[in-house]
Amino acid sequence: MLYLVPTPLGNLKDITLRALEVLKQADVILCEDTRTSSKLLQHYQVQKPLSPYHQHNEHKIVEHLTEQMRAGKTFALITDAGTPGISDPAFLLVRQCIKEGIKVECLPGATAFVLALVNSGIPTNRFVFEGFLPLKKGRQTLLKQLAQEERTMVFYESPMRLVKTLEEFITYFGPDRRCSVSRELTKLFEENARGTLQELCEHFKSKAVKGEIVIVLAGTEA
């Protein structure tokens, strides 16, 4: 079978007892980067074979992995941080397992956009997760569509593109739209900045930005 196992966003204590149990019982642990995952596994003394599974090889090895599962092997899939399948590889393998009747089980755990959303102060009763915006093709079309979105919107962004994205948001959503930007979640230098798009744009222009970023943007209703 296949287990999807969330891993900590930064603080190594943010892993469940069940996740550790599954990792210790799996035959093989699939991971994005063996160097990154090794740090977590060594910390908890999990000694299992690691096999790379990432966006550059997933199309090539999906069938090979399901063949091994049909033969009786149990795999645990982890990513560098957070829940597999949320802007990280997992979908292709899950779909193939379901197609072939292989059991798939997802454990509860850390997901960055959930943390950012609930501490944003922006309505959480209705929201849409957009992940990373397209870099070029379709970006402007999507932003025009989202300008009419009534639900709270959640995005992932890189530190290098944060200011540019906030400037684009000002163009399409207006400078006074409420927003929250969270970065380095669960880590030593965690920051949750809240205000209008204009205020946040000025804030992040004045400093060097590091870490993975979640943007929570109020919808038109709010």
Q: What is the pLDDT of residues 173-210, one digit of tens each?
A: 999 999 999 999 999 999 999 999 999 999 999 998 99
Q: Please compute the mean of the pLDDT values over residues 133-141 and round it to a whole number.
A: 93
State the average pLDDT over residues 7-24.
96
pTM, full prediction: 0.93
d(CA 158, CA 221): 27
Q: What domain count does the chain have? A: 2
Per-residue confidence (pLDDT) for residue 221, from 0 to 100:
77
Domain endpoint, select from 69, 85, 106? 106
pLDDT of residue 174: 96
Q: How far apart are CA 184 and CA 67, in angstroms?
A: 38
Give dist(CA 167, CA 202) in Å, integer.
Answer: 10
In a domain, 39, yes or no: yes
Residue 39 above 80 pLDDT?
A: yes
Task: Give the mean pLDDT of the chain.
Answer: 96
User: Is a pLDDT exceeding 90 seen at residue 155?
Assistant: yes
Q: Supply the pLDDT for residue 222.
A: 60
129/39 Cα distance (integer angstroms): 30
CATH value at residue 63: 3.40.1010.10
> Could you give the residue ranges of the DSSP H alpha helices within the chain?
17-25, 34-43, 58-70, 91-99, 112-118, 139-146, 162-173, 197-205
- Is residue 41 domain-shared with residue 77, that is, in the same domain? yes
Q: Classify residue 136: in a domain, yes or no.
A: yes
Rounded average pLDDT over 37-58: 95
Chain segment 67-76, per-residue pLDDT in tens: 999 999 999 9
> In which domain, by residue range, is 156 found?
112-217
Last residue of a domain, one of 79, 106, 133: 106
128 falls within a domain: yes
